[in-house]
Amino acid sequence: DMFSVGTFKTLMMTVFCGNTGALLRRLKRAADEGKPLDAQDLFYRYTLDSIGQIGFGQHLGCLEKEEVPFARAFDTAQAAINSRFVEPGWRLTQWFQPREYRLAACVRFLNKEAGRFVKERRESGEVGHDFLSMFAAAKTPEGTPVYDDAFLRDVVMNFLIAGRDTTAAALSWAFWRLSLHEDVLARLRAEIVGVL
């Protein structure tokens, strides 16, 4: 069970702590150089790296590298989809919108990459502790896989969508609110220092 206490302690905490270390290194480097950072971008990178490992056992390297094609395609696709919400007639003009062509290209790229993750997992026979492994290991009583590769690819993409933005937005909001309330931030720091 992916959401058991044991799994949380062994997999999720390991992933989150490891990626928190990478996040802190990036923050320290920016502080040492006196450079501003986009906190929301940093949290998107943090959560994409984390859900990549938890969801399908892939380290995407978003915190280590400035440019990650997978992350860029993911962002471009989401921006195009989000614009549809503010343009109710987008279907009428979709063939004239460059963003729709970019969206289609990004979806093809993301599906190809997610499909590659699935194919590599199937070929390796490796059984990890991530969501993809859990779904890929499911067998019928006859021993054949329950889920085909297209389904597993869609599982990978669904976990990415669900796991990245929700947590990144919550972290961005929390840190922004903490920056507005120094007294709350001081109490939080004291509690963290007291526990650690």
Task: For 33-90, write each residue's pLDDT tens digit.
Answer: 999 999 999 999 999 999 999 888 889 999 999 999 999 999 999 999 999 989 888 8
Count other Cβ atoms within 10 Å, centred on residue 125. Answer: 7
Summarize the confidence of residues 159-182 as an average pLDDT.
Answer: 92
Is 2's pLDDT higher than 60?
no
CA angle at residue 58 from 56 to 59, to 5 degrees? 140
Task: Give the model confidence (pLDDT) of 133-156 as tens digits.
Answer: 888 888 899 999 999 999 999 988
Q: Residues near 27 by Cβ (< 8 Å), separated by ≥ 6?
A: 37, 42
The total number of residues shown for the chain amounts to 196
